[in-house]
Amino acid sequence: MLQTKTLSYHYTPNVQLTFPDITLSFHENLLILGPSGVGKTTLLHLLGGLLKPTAGTINIQNVAIDKLSQKKLDAFRGKHIGIVFQKGTFIKSLSVIDNIKAKLFFSKASVSDAEIKDILTTLGLAEKINSKVRELSEGQKQRLSIAIALCNKPDVILADEPTASLDDENAKNVIELLSTYAKEKQANLVVITHDHRIKEYFANTIML
């Protein structure tokens, strides 16, 4: 469940971004489209609790996250929100499996090794479980980024240009993976992108 009202963020008095209200009930997905520079990433970061809105409210799972203290917000984010980043970026000193375990550690989730293996197998990373992250290909990095976002079973998945650097085939795979997960877990999937290829997968679309 995700709901925003009269959300706005001011970088400077001259750069003020306002966003349309969003209301998503269980397992509803949303695609936010728009060219660069209109504040897509800002909106995503507001939804993820990485930025505090200048005005307006954000409710996730009936918690007003704009009212939470920094420490509670960190904990809430870890437990309820999974973020997939555009470029697969990880903790470089850790292996594939340890990156997942680090995420689970910080989000205080207890997930069995078998479940981790399942996720990695689904994403075609079973072979790479002990590899160093720098040895992965671009596609594999993107999939690992998804695995990390999903491994602790968040209620909201925020994806920032998850398909930008992928070919048609991989872009399709990634979106299907994310939608399938959202459907199974009754989670909300919010994707921001300028990639029109993936429009057909979403019922709700907002143009910024």
Partner 1 sequence: MNLWKLGIKNIRFKPLNAFLSVLLLALSIALISAAFHLKKIYENQVDANILDIDMVIGAKGSPLQLILSSVLHIDAPTGNINYNQAKKIVRNPLIKTAVPISYGDNYKGYRIVGSTEEYFNVYNAAIAKGTFFNASKELVIGSVVAEKLHLKIGDEVTSSHGLTEGIESHEDKLKVVGVLKSTGTIIDQLLVTPLETVWHLHEHGGEVHEHEEDKEVTAMLVSFKNPMGMLQIPRRVNATPGMQAALPRFELERLYGLMGVGFKVISLIGIAILIVSGISIFISLYRVVKERTYEIALMRTYGANRLQLFFIVFIEGIVIGVVGYILGICLSKLGLWFLKNYMETGYKMNVKTLFLLPEEWWLGGSVIGVIVLATILAVLPIFNMNVSKVLADEN
Question: Are 72 and 63 within 8 A, CB to CB?
Answer: no
Interaction between residue 103 and partner 1 (CB under 8 A): yes
Of 19-27, 53-61, 79-87, 179-187: span binding partner 1 (CB under 8 A): 79-87
Taking contact as CB under 8 A, which single stretch among the options 57-65, 81-89, 136-144, 180-188 is the one that binds partner 1? Answer: 81-89
Span near partner 1 by CB under 8 A; candidates 20-28, 84-92, 167-175, 200-208: 84-92
For residue 78, the minimal CB distance to partner 1 (Å) is 2
Residues contacting residue 35 through CB under 8 Å, at least 6 positions apart: 194
Contact 189, 178 (CB under 8 A): yes
- 195 interacts with partner 1 by CB under 8 A: no
| Single-letter residue type at 180 | T
Query: What one-character DSSP code corresponds to residue 95?
Result: B
The contact mask relative to partner 1 for 130-169 (x = CB under 8 A, - = no) is ------------------x-----------xx--------
Buried b (16+ CB within 10 A) or exposed e, 41-76: bbbbbbbbbeeebeebebbbeebebbebeeeebeeb
**Residue 108 tokens, joined:** 């205080």
Q: In the complex with partner 1, which residue's Cβ is closer, 101 or 172?
A: 101
Token pair for 162: 């998850």
Query: By CB under 8 A, is residue 67 in contact with partner 1?
Result: no
Q: Which of 159, 137, 135 is nearest to 148 (CA)?
A: 159
Q: Which two structure tokens, joined as six digits, stand for 54?
A: 């200048």
Strands 156-160 and 81-84: parallel
Of the candidates 142, 130, 144, the one whose C-alpha atom is nearest the C-alpha of residue 169 is 142
Using CB under 8 A, which of 104, 119, 178, 198 touches partner 1? 104
| Only segment of 25-33, 95-103, 180-188, 192-200 that touches partner 1 (CB under 8 A) | 95-103
- Out of 27, 34, 98, 117, the only residue in the binding site for partner 1 (CB under 8 A) is 98
How many residues sit close enough to partner 1 to count as binding (CB under 8 A)?
36
Structure tokens given for 205: 């679309």
- Positions that interact with partner 1 (CB under 8 A): 41-42, 45, 48, 50-51, 70-71, 74-75, 77-79, 81, 83, 85-87, 89-94, 98, 101-108, 148, 160-161
